[in-house]
Amino acid sequence: STTRRFHFNVEWKKVTRLCHTKQLLTVNGQYPGPAVVVNEGDTVEIKVTNRIAHNTTIHWHGLRQYRSGWADGPAYITQCPIRSKQSYTYRFKVEDQRGTLLWHAHHSWQRASVYGAFIIYPRQPYPFSGSHIQSEIPIILGEWWNDDVDKVEKQMLKTGAGAKVSDAYTLNGLPGPLYPCSTKDTFTANVDAGKTYILRIINAALNNELFFAISNHTLTVVEVDAVYTKPVHTKAIMIAPGQTTTLLLRTNHLSDGEFLIAATPYVTSVFPFNNSTTVGFLRYNKSKPVNHLNRRRLITTLSTRSVLPDMLDTKFATRFSDSIKSLGSAEYPCKVPTAIDKRVITTISLNLQNCPENKTCSGYDGKRFFASMNNVSFIRPPISILESYYKKQSRGVFTLNFPEKPPSRFDFTGVDPVSENMNTEFGTKLFEVDFGARLEIVFQGTSFLNIENHPLHVHGHNFFVVGRGFGNFDEEKDQEKYNLVDPPERNTIAVPTGGWAAIRINADNPGVWFIHCHLEQHTSWGLAMGFIVKDGPLPSQTLLRPPRDLPKC
Ligand code: C2O
């Protein structure tokens, strides 16, 4: 097989957006960072050199990392961070995945600007039919912060309050003309009429799920999280942070003109979000030269609201998510486990914590916010969990007692959610499964601060979303309704606000794997845990030895 090599320098670069110039953390001075483009079956070697004064790591989000857990990237989970002036080479094989993924920094809030596309070309021709593809348009959705995000995170943890929101949403790093001073910084995709284009959509935003649409055009979903789906035709998509998708765009019926490309947050309560919308343009090549006045007019006549679902449109979000199904063809069968060996039910919640003595907290009611799973707020250990597990030195690093059922005092739809979501425990708790175990995890939302979906991301494995619903998960009744035929296979699931999602995993990848909310603010508050997959009986089912250049803590 081919080995593809890349060199990433993590470095500062002066960047201006919204008339605000700042030092932005980048890879190779690029924002968004460089795309990693490989073929299915390739071995990838990415040398990451840290050219800043802080620690860093890079995560290859959604890449399976089969037996190569050392290359996964989350700081203190599978590696110690790469220190200033040091390098680490991430080495892994890309197998049995094809489509659009992303990479991003996995240390504090660095992924605010350190992210890029990870594109895998398939061995076999695309399964979606017919028309020949003209070209590809990658669109990475992100957030621009005028402030230093490191300070935003520190401030948030210090006061116990929620972080402020970003200053703009972006398309490929460009906020677009609805924001101050951004007309120049507008993303434009040029297309010919009568063709089919591949759109690669990546949500790299820190803290928001987004709706995305193009005016007067139907989008066809053909792949999510690098797994083919049955084609879904839709006016808009909902995409959670960490999710990626490939869409087909047909430019059939039109010969010239400009159309809005737009994205806006999806939330279930307007507080504390503003109604920011990022806008770009799809421009037919025969159109008249770009005219900013015309573009303004286009935005006002075609209000972005008529292009995108309303930001509170849970019905749309639910319908869209439920419409996604695995392709499940003879060539790409859906390998959902139809029976399970273990079920873990865990709450995913925000909590209030008493303020430490001599401190003032401004979360709510003089208390500070935290987040937890089964009432355990995840604490990042001082050294890498994978390394301490591998060396059988877990003491002081992690324990294997993550509760597999919620503490009984939670009633997820309770009328007094505040008192039900009080002081959490803090800890670094994981659970362990045998190699090959068929695992089910049910994520159960709770009712306190119930304003947005939690996008839960699992490292090292894809999973099958066998069920989703509102209210309390009912262990008996709800499993009867599971989809065990063609559930979507993904790595990040938007658990409905005020509801639950059940996922199934073939736990066939030995190592230590992080599970967390992909809203960065919630990860900082501890909405995370992990699981360990033990080695299998065969030598080919064990975790490989750590690479020599693995960073030390
Ligand atoms: Cu995309 Cu643990 O992250």
- Pick the more confident residue, 356 or 413: 356
Is the Cβ–Cβ distance between 80 and 387 less than 8 Å?
A: yes
Last residue of a domain, one of 105, 123, 141: 123
Is the domain of 296 the same as that of 359? no
Is the domain of 149 the same as that of 248? yes
Query: Ligand 1 pocket, 59 CB below 6 A?
Result: yes
Query: Ligand 1 pocket, 74 CB below 6 A?
Result: yes
Is the domain of 317 the same as that of 392? no
Is the domain of 267 the same as that of 353? no
Q: What is the rounded CA–CA span in Å between residue 504 and residue 326?
A: 14
Ligand 1 centroid distance, CA of 98 (Å)? 19
Pairing outcome for strands 219-224 and 227-234: antiparallel
pLDDT of residue 405: 92
Phi, psi of 296 (to 5 degrees): -60, -45
Is the domain of 398 the same as that of 524? yes
Cα angle, residue 168 at apex, residues 163 and 171 outer, rounded to 5°: 130
Sorted by sequence, the CB contacts under 8 Å of residue 96 that are 6+ apart come out as: 40, 64
Which residue type is seen at 83? Answer: R
Ligand 1 centroid distance, CA of 59 (Å)? 7
Query: Ligand 1 pocket, 111 CB below 6 A?
Result: no
Tell me if 223 is assigned to some domain: yes
Tell me if 553 is assigned to some domain: no
Is the domain of 394 the same as that of 506? yes
Atom 1 of ligand 1, residue of closest alpha carbon: 61
547 by Cβ neighbours in 10 Å (0-12 / 13-18 / 19+) ranks as middle
Across 204-213, average pLDDT:
95
Atom 2 of ligand 1, residue of closest alpha carbon: 74
Our count of domains for the chain comes to 3
Is the domain of 197 the same as that of 76? no
Residue closest to 92 by CA, chosen among 10, 3, 27: 3
Ligand 1 centroid distance, CA of 493 (Å)? 12
Tell me if 550 is assigned to some domain: no
Q: Which atom of ligand 1 is nearest to the CA of 77?
A: 2
- pLDDT > 60? residue 538: yes
- pLDDT > 60? residue 64: yes
Q: What is the rounded CA–CA span in Å between residue 64 and residue 480?
A: 30
Last residue of a domain, one of 91, 123, 155: 123
Tell me if 20 is assigned to some domain: yes
Query: Ligand 1 pocket, 280 CB below 6 A?
Result: no
Last residue of a domain, one of 100, 123, 146: 123
ipTM score for this prediction:
0.99
> Cβ–Cβ contacts within 10 Å for residue 475, how many?
12
pLDDT of residue 411: 63
Is the domain of 388 the same as that of 272? no
Ligand 1 centroid distance, CA of 482 (Å)? 27
Is the domain of 318 the same as that of 423? no
Tell me if 282 is assigned to some domain: yes
pLDDT digits (tens, 9 = 90+) for 429-440: 999 999 999 999
Across 220-229, average pLDDT:
98
Is the domain of 115 the same as that of 132? no
Query: Ligand 1 pocket, 241 CB below 6 A?
Result: no
* Helical segments of 441-545, H only: 477-480, 520-524
Q: How many residues are given for the chain? A: 553
Across 42-64, average pLDDT:
98
From the DSSP assignment, how many helices (H) and strands (E) are in the chain?
Answer: 8, 32
pLDDT band for position 294 (cuts 50, 70, 90): confident
pLDDT digits (tens, 9 = 90+) for 104-139: 999 999 999 999 999 999 999 999 875 588 899 999
Percent of the chain with pLDDT over 90: 80
Tell me if 323 is assigned to some domain: yes
Domain CATH for 44: 2.60.40.420
Ligand 1 centroid distance, CA of 196 (Å)? 31
Ligand 1 centroid distance, CA of 458 (Å)? 8
Ligand 1 centroid distance, CA of 111 (Å)? 9
Tell me if 336 is assigned to some domain: no
Pairing outcome for strands 115-121 and 36-39: parallel
Which residue type is seen at 281? Answer: F
Percent of the chain with pLDDT over 70: 95
Domain region containing 513: 342-541
421 half-sphere exposure, CB direction, 13 A CA radius? 28
Q: What is the rounded CA–CA span in Å between residue 113 and residue 167?
A: 13
Is the domain of 451 the same as that of 350? yes
Query: Ligand 1 pocket, 106 CB below 6 A?
Result: yes
Is the domain of 86 the same as that of 177? no
Q: What DSSP designation does 305 have?
A: H
pLDDT of residue 131: 58
Q: Which atom of ligand 1 is nearest to the CA of 459?
A: 2
Query: Ligand 1 pocket, 62 CB below 6 A?
Result: no
Tell me if 247 is assigned to some domain: yes
Please give the mean pLDDT across all residues of the chain: 93
Tokens 């065969």, residue? 538
Q: Which atom of ligand 1 is nearest to the CA of 492?
A: 1
Tokens 């430019």, residue? 251
pLDDT band for position 147 (cuts 50, 70, 90): very high
pLDDT digits (tens, 9 = 90+) for 7-27: 999 999 999 999 999 999 999
Is the Cβ–Cβ distance between 238 and 267 less than 8 Å?
A: no
